[in-house]
Structure 1
């Protein structure tokens, strides 16, 4: 029977067969030790599985990060792509307009502001220029997609090797990236944010990691939006190329006087060389440096197969030369003056492209510069810092030439012809005699050149002196002006009235404040050279006022309502024509026999007046022929006295050299002057028979020459002492 099995051992089958000895294991025997080879294998598997895990983890993170980065980059690219406008909207990137100045023959002689020469495309630009740009700036331009990793890596290596940061200095930018910078990565110029357009562009060109990271997707977006030819077209039109030229068309016209589709290999290489540093390599600054840079570009073009060896050698043998307009810096001071006289909203602040047709004669301008240079090279000691200014104009006030200082290239700085207020000295005296002649006096009337003392209320007695310290007695007005005698000028001024003299000078164009006292007659007032020259032009044209002008026509293409015209600078009559012609006669004697003989023009009639101020701080000569009026001022900017220089010296010689060149080839024309009839000096009244009375009457008739002008012996001694000191001061 079966039991419950509690407390009993379980039933086990009998082992009828024995177990092989080889498989038997003692109950107490330990397990055999693992072999070392199998343990190392297991350990290596763990390491490989660990590194495999790290690789899978890293790769997983990497491709996910790259995928996210790629999506972000694509999103940024799409963002920029959506904002990019049509190519035609990007070609003229200037925030302001430009001013082109033409001479009297309508030839360009100067530019102001940034000039845009007009749209030019990659299709119609000279192939040499296109090849030069690609060879210089981005030889793999047609292979990459806006960014060149090889170029960036090379730039980083160069920067690190030269001790700079990886993104400092060389940027490895492609042409597309450069265009992105020119577009300021889509940031539009805002006057409220930047002080000037220059600050805006400097900010656009700044480097840094953030800007570089923004630049890359912008460049790719451009490659997606535009074709390679369109990107080059933007580049050709927006790149700044020095001397105010924006774009290759403007630069080609500025430097060579031709279109960018006509340039030869040498010219193309010079233009492409400007991209690295426009101001440094501008040929108007240093032609040799620009040519040396162009030779490097020619080498690159030859190396990359754009030029054959023969073509490259020919380009190097015949380097690019500047056009005539670009070669000379003539007219710079004149251009500055024109820009100052025209409304600012059409010049320095213009939003339009303005064309100004001026009165400048570039041939006369060059002659004026040459005449001044000749005198300074041959008459002054080396190292002299003396300055000079010249104005040449027609009788109606049209300015034909202007030199604002000895350094012609300093245009844009201080213009001594228009900005320097200096005492006029004896060059003011013609206005004194103009007042007298207009009141009916004759050039042959007599005036006393005798000692004179005038009591000035509040200042006391004032005694004018002649330059030579001598007295001539009774002389004509003509002689008094020719010899530039001071006392007769004061006597005439006092006789006709200071206010009349002041009014006539002002009506002739002297706008500066004039002295109130009797020293007015001696040029104690200040004026500018252009004012004085314009006033003398009024004498030449028959006695009418003259306003010097430099603008004939100011044009704003497409907006005729803003156009301005000037036909003449002649204004209202100041003195009678007869008085003007008599004054011309008197001033002619200054050149023929007076203080201005060094200004004589070898058979050509001329008239003028010298001027020298106290202690010789200013020296003037202003005069005219029947064709032109010219004024010359000479002095130091810091008012240092000129040593041994008077208006009849170096200024008269400069005037002579300039006017001889100006009149070269012109027929001789007589001056419009009226020669007065000669007059006899006044006959003294019958003298008493007593010796005392005889000498007293004779002394009165001769203006005090016999008895010293009624002075005592002590007064005469003091007078001679003052004259001696005066002559010493003049030396």
Structure 2
């Protein structure tokens, strides 16, 4: 029997649960009723604002319009975001991105590199008929639209649908500029959308005239030319300010498809396009039919680029690379560069290499050669990087790494003389000394005993420089070579004394220039001045920096005497020139893959390399054969009709004016090198020409120009 107290407590809990359930039901009921009453009151409140008829229609339209506007704004923002990112990055398309005109040492153009562009002409200086021809053909409503020509775009769509290419494009000039500045040439809807937004951005930030000027400067016009000014110079050999109506029409016709309408590609198509541009001028009301009639009868004719003089292309490639760090940070994209190249010496160097290979290359199974010529002050006067630039643009003078063989020995002997106090008459050991398992051999195969330093050098004995390198250490020899101007890094091996290092022809010239310049380092250089297309000077060399001395004058004198012995009685006798103190050193690798001669006179330093691009062996070609012949041939040419300078330390009396010898009919047909000015006189004339040109640009009236010309006419005294 259960406890009565237990039953009583159970009934009490059940009553409390029933009370809680009743309270919850009542609360929910009251809550939903209150919501209903609140909604009814709100409905009653807004019922007073209910519209009917026209008023309701207007409100619905506004409401839906606001909704669609919000949706459209989000969509437009999504589409515009990529275009805004392009402008926010600050990057624009560069046409690779500079244009360079190269001049020789006398100021004559010798070639160009990079793209051709010219932004030096303001809009108001361009011919009015050229500007109108462009607007009539590309964008007649340019000054009326907001960046996107809606009417022109619709017309282009209709014409395209009808299969008519039309005479005008659908893109406005601002859109074309946006594409040139920020976008690629891919034909997609995404690019067209970006182009439209960027066009509007350009219109917000630039005036119409500024946009048109940028368009004329940045548009590609075929033949590697960017901008109308560069195209006028390239196609017609004229400044853009001097083109006639026919030429202006042809230029204006290039904007649509320069690769199709370039006069150098298809002259008939270019003239047909120019005639269409003339019709556009008339249709747009810019000119009358009578005004364009003469241009129709006398269409433009481009200049013949095939008749241009050959350029020193290998040198121009080298100079273009050297130019890059000198113009870093410069905002301009068009430059004029005056170089050190001498066109006469360049032609002599090219002839020396090609003629020797043509005459005897097959006999020795050698097909390629290179030569670099500088003055003792480092100015590069000639550079031959191969036999045919059209077939191979690889520059063997600056980029090909070949072993110099015995032509490296001057660095070994110079280090020995500097540190060991030797003289040319000093007697040294020529006995074979092995370094580990490597035992050097002489070219003849015979060993020698004691021998004078000068005889060992002249006869190119191998055991002597190896023995000297053991005494001085090989690393000091490598360090000296780098101090003297060898820029290429090479491995320091036990056979370094015999030239087992990979160097360039330019490296060898740099090193030998120290001997020619009394022991002072004079690095080679090919650029003397850089200016923008507007004439602003970007860079000039610092002529006040003193040259570092790396060899004593005594060492230089001894080395020059020893290198003179190479030419007079040693392995380089074929390099001798009557009346000229020629000195140098031959070099041959052990497997006959490379043959060298590097040397100098009081006037010029030159190094010659002959070999094969695929490294196959020649037929026993040594440095004392064809390289010395080519070197001698060039130097004989180069020293005609000039003052022959002495070589420091060499007891030699140069003849004042040397004429290169020739035999038979060659003597009668030889063209004598014209007399040249002294360097000081040439520099004065060049400075005078620069000053005259700068002054003429700043002079306004013709009378002032005439007066200035009369004033500048007398030559400076002493020239």
Aligned to 1:424: 404
- Tell me if the contact between 2:233 and 2:240 (Cα under 8 Å) persists in the aligned partners: yes
- Residue 237 in structure 1 maps to residue 217 in structure 2: yes
CA distance in 1, matches of 2:173, 2:201: 14
Equivalent in 623, 629, 636 of residue 647 of structure 1: 623
Q: Contact 1:118–1:250 at 8 Å: present in 2 too? A: no
CA contact (8 A) 2:113 2:320 kept: no
Residue 182 (structure 1) aligned to one of 142, 154, 177: 177
Looking at structure 1, the residues matched to 558 and 600 of structure 2 have their Cα atoms a distance apart, in angstroms, of: 15
Answer yes or no: is 1:338 the counterpart of 2:322.
Answer: yes
Offset of residue 147 of structure 1: 1.2
The whole-number CA distance in structure 2 between the counterparts of 1:112 and 1:135 is: 31
User: Take 1:632 and 1:184, find their aligned partners in 2: how far apart are those partners?
Assistant: 50
Matches within 5 A, 1:266-281: 268=248, 271-272=251-252, 275=255
Is the contact made by 1:116 and 1:250 (CA closer than 8 Å) also made in structure 2?
yes
2:125 matched to which residue of 1? 124
Alpha-carbon distance in 1 for matches of 2:178, 2:516? 57
- In the aligned structure 2, how far is the partner of 1:132 from the partner of 1:322? 29
Q: 1:277 & 1:482 partners in 2: Cα distance?
A: 65
- Which stretch shows the higher mean deviation, 352-361 or 222-231? 222-231
| Alignment match, 1:434 | 414
- CA distance in 1: counterparts of 2:249 and 2:357, whole angstroms: 39
Superposed CA offset, 1:66-108 (max 9, x none): xx99xx9xxx9xx99xx99xxxxx9x98599846465444566
Shift of the 599–172 alpha-carbon distance from structure 1 to 2, 3 Å rule, reads: farther
Deviation for aligned residue 1:521 = 1.7
Indicate if the aligned counterparts of 2:254 and 2:262 stay in contact, CA closer than 8 A.
yes
User: Take 1:654 and 1:568, find their aligned partners in 2: how far apart are those partners?
Assistant: 36
Match of 1:532 in 2: 508
Equivalent residue runs for 1:196-235 within 5 Å = 200-202=182-184, 205-209=185-189, 211-212=191-192, 233-235=213-215
Of 294-303 and 659-668, deviating more is: 294-303
Query: Superposed, which structure 2 residues align to 1:320-719 within 5 Å?
Result: 321=305, 329=313, 331-339=315-323, 342=325, 346-347=327-328, 351-352=331-332, 359-361=339-341, 363=343, 364-365=345-346, 367-381=348-362, 386-408=367-389, 415-438=395-418, 439-447=420-428, 452-456=431-435, 459-460=436-437, 462-470=438-446, 475-494=451-470, 498=474, 500-513=476-489, 516=492, 518-552=494-528, 565-567=541-543, 571-601=547-577, 603-663=579-639, 665-675=641-651
Where do 5+ consecutive residues of structure 1 fail to align?
1-64, 85-89, 160-169, 190-199, 677-731
Question: Displacement, 1:261?
Answer: 0.8
Q: Report the Cα offset of residue 552 of structure 1.
A: 3.9
C-alpha separation in 2, matches of 1:282 and 1:426: 54
CA contact (8 A) 2:139 2:173 kept: no
Q: Distance in 1 between matches of 2:201 and 2:530?
A: 43
Tell me the CA shift for residue 541 of structure 1: 0.5
Structure 1 residues 217 and 635: CA distance shift in structure 2, 3 A: same
Q: Normalization by structure 1: what TM-score? A: 0.61
Unaligned runs of 5+ in 2: 1-64, 85-89, 281-288, 653-719
Deviations 1:380-412 (A, max 9, x none): 459x9944333222212233343444453689x
Task: Please tell me whether Structure 1 or Structure 2 has the larger radius of gyration of its CA atoms.
Answer: 1
- 1:534 CA displacement: 0.6
Q: What is residue 677 of structure 2 aligned with on the other side?
A: none
Partners of 2:373 and 2:183 in 1: how far apart? 41
Q: Secondary structure at the match of 1:526?
A: coil
Work out the CA distance in 2 between the residues paired with 1:311 and 1:362: 45
Asked whether the equivalents of residues 483 and 595 of structure 1 are also in contact (C-alpha less than 8 Å), the reply is yes
Q: Distance in 2 between matches of 1:259 and 1:653?
A: 46
Q: Distance in 1 between matches of 2:160 and 2:493?
A: 74
Partner of 2:621, secondary structure, is coil
**Superposition pairs for residues 286-305 of structure 1, below 5 Å?**
289=265, 294-297=270-273, 300=276
- When structure 1 is superposed on structure 2, of 649-658 and 575-584 the one drifting more is 649-658
The 3-state SS of whatever aligns with 2:591 is helix
Counterparts in 2 of 1:332 and 1:153: CA distance versus 1, 3 Å? farther
Contact 1:392 1:631 (8 Å CA) reproduced: yes
Between stretches 576-585 and 431-440, larger displacement belongs to: 431-440
- Give the deviation of 1:540 after TM superposition: 0.4
Q: Distance in 2 between matches of 1:131 and 1:610?
A: 67
Q: Report Cα offsets for 1:236-293 as digits up to 9, x if no partner.
A: 222123566432124445666642112356765775565456578889xxxx537566
* Separation in structure 2 between the aligned mates of residue 281 and residue 207 of structure 1, nearest angstrom: 20
Asked if structure 2 preserves the Cα contact closer than 8 Å seen for 1:598 and 1:656, the reply is: yes
More displaced stretch, 328-337 vs 136-145: 136-145
Q: 1:409 to 1:661 in 2, by over 3 A?
A: farther
TM-score, L = length of structure 2: 0.62
